[in-house]
Amino acid sequence: MKRKITLKQIARELDVSISTVSKALSNSKEISEDTTQKIQAFAKLYNYKPNNIALSLKNRKTKTIGILIPEIVHHFFSTVIRGIELVANRRGYNVIVGLSNESFTKEIINMEMLANGSIDGFILSISKETLLKQDYHHFNATINQGMPIVMFDRVVNEVDCDKVIVDDFNGSVKAVNKLIENNCKNIALITTMDYVSVGRLRTQGYIEALESHKIIADPNLILKIDDSLDVENHLEDLELEIEQFFKINGSIDGVFAVNELYAVTAMKVARKLGLSIPDNIQVIGFTDGVLSKHATPSLTTVSQHGQKIGEQAANLLIDRLVAADTEDDQYFTNDERKSDFIKVVIETEIIERESTKQFR
């Protein structure tokens, strides 16, 4: 009996990427005919069994939702999972959580594994590496085979599905407006590279808020952190980068950071440089997590309402699954049904704490 083989093993044996194998087995036009035939022949020889999602959905309902997230340590993602689980359990569903660890390859492998009869649909946030590659074939292939996907937080226009996002742009505008109202004159931004959509939108909000007050955004006051590596395992490098940024720009009296790790690190560096918070410098971070509440001083934040995002995402997915059962039809079998995709936008709010001045 021939042993069963996995996508990863096929890729290793033929010295190609998992993405190439995945596309070839789906008859993607992006892969040459010669490569496609070679991969498909090898897969057949070693008894590779691709997902037959449509058959699985037709013959068996698992009443289980697959959640795929980029990382587990962030408070935001744990609150989203809590929201999904609350709604799922109330509506008779279980959840399975998969972790991409910001890896494109792990994202594909997790989807392949979970979609093979284990779940009825996905709720997911895209990995940074996938956003950097701009390769979304695995999402579209899953949807085209009849399995619904709801994306949250990190979403892309190239995939047609329901989406739940936080209002990143206006959340940033609120944060910068708060610093301006508090008499900050030189407001710095600590952000990600632009390929991460949420970082890009928060950067745009920062610039728009300044311009609305007739302040020209100074490129020297924008620090873009290359977080393609695991920043949490390179905290010393992050601290050093922010410290150099502060030393070069000694007039900074306000900081808006696009996540709470950057914000809390900025406060640590400011204290190290002898700056008093909020007297000399005020700081606001995006995401209202555990770090924000327990930092010294406590951090003023833009709340993302992660649990609400999870609840909305779960309701959207389960509504799709229930509708498909009622209609006795597969999910999105024709283009006409693509027009009813829903994008839910969750509003943000400022949670004031000790890192900004309180005016009463």
pLDDT per position as a tens digit, 176-188: 999 999 999 999 9
pLDDT digits (tens, 9 = 90+) for 275-293: 999 999 999 999 888 899 9
Q: What is the DSSP letter of 315?
A: H
Asked whether the predicted pLDDT for residue 162 surpasses 80, the reply is yes
Asked whether the predicted pLDDT for residue 170 surpasses 80, the reply is yes
Percentage of the chain exceeding pLDDT 90:
67
Asked whether the predicted pLDDT for residue 20 surpasses 70, the reply is yes
At 228 the pLDDT is 63
Averaged pLDDT, 72-85: 92
At 220 the pLDDT is 97
Lowest mean pLDDT among 3-7, 171-175, 177-181, 302-306: 3-7
Category of 27 on φ-ψ map: left (φ > 0), alpha (ψ -120 to 50) or beta: left
At 117 the pLDDT is 81
CB 100 within 8 A of CB 68: yes
Averaged pLDDT, 192-211: 92
At 158 the pLDDT is 95
Category of 256 on φ-ψ map: left (φ > 0), alpha (ψ -120 to 50) or beta: beta
At 58 the pLDDT is 53
Which regions of the chain does DSSP assign to beta strands (E)?
Answer: 64-69, 94-99, 121-124, 149-152, 162-166, 187-192, 222-225, 254-257, 282-286, 300-303, 343-346, 349-351
At 89 the pLDDT is 96
Asked whether the predicted pLDDT for residue 40 surpasses 50, the reply is yes
- The pTM of this model reads 0.82
Averaged pLDDT, 20-37: 87
Measured CA distances, 55 to 52, 61, 62, 264 (Å) = 6, 11, 13, 49
At 122 the pLDDT is 98
Percentage of the chain exceeding pLDDT 70:
89
* Helices 235-248 & 260-272 angle (0-180, nearest 10): 60
Asked whether the predicted pLDDT for residue 320 surpasses 80, the reply is yes
pLDDT digits (tens, 9 = 90+) for 120-146: 999 999 999 999 999 999 999 899 888
Averaged pLDDT, 212-228: 92
How many of the other CB atoms lie within 10 Å of CB of 27?
A: 10
Domains recognised in the chain with CATH numbers = 7-50 (no CATH), 62-166+306-346 (3.40.50.2300), 168-304 (3.40.50.2300)
Among positive and negative, which fits the CA dihedral 221, 215, 258, 125?
negative
At 332 the pLDDT is 45
At 294 the pLDDT is 93
Taking the C-alpha atoms of residue 133 and residue 210, their distance in angstroms, rounded to an integer, is 32
Lowest mean pLDDT among 77-91, 115-129, 265-279: 115-129
At 334 the pLDDT is 42
Averaged pLDDT, 87-107: 96
Asked whether the predicted pLDDT for residue 333 surpasses 50, the reply is no
Asked whether the predicted pLDDT for residue 9 surpasses 90, the reply is no
Structure tokens at 1: 């009996």
User: Average model confidence (pLDDT) for the chain?
Assistant: 89
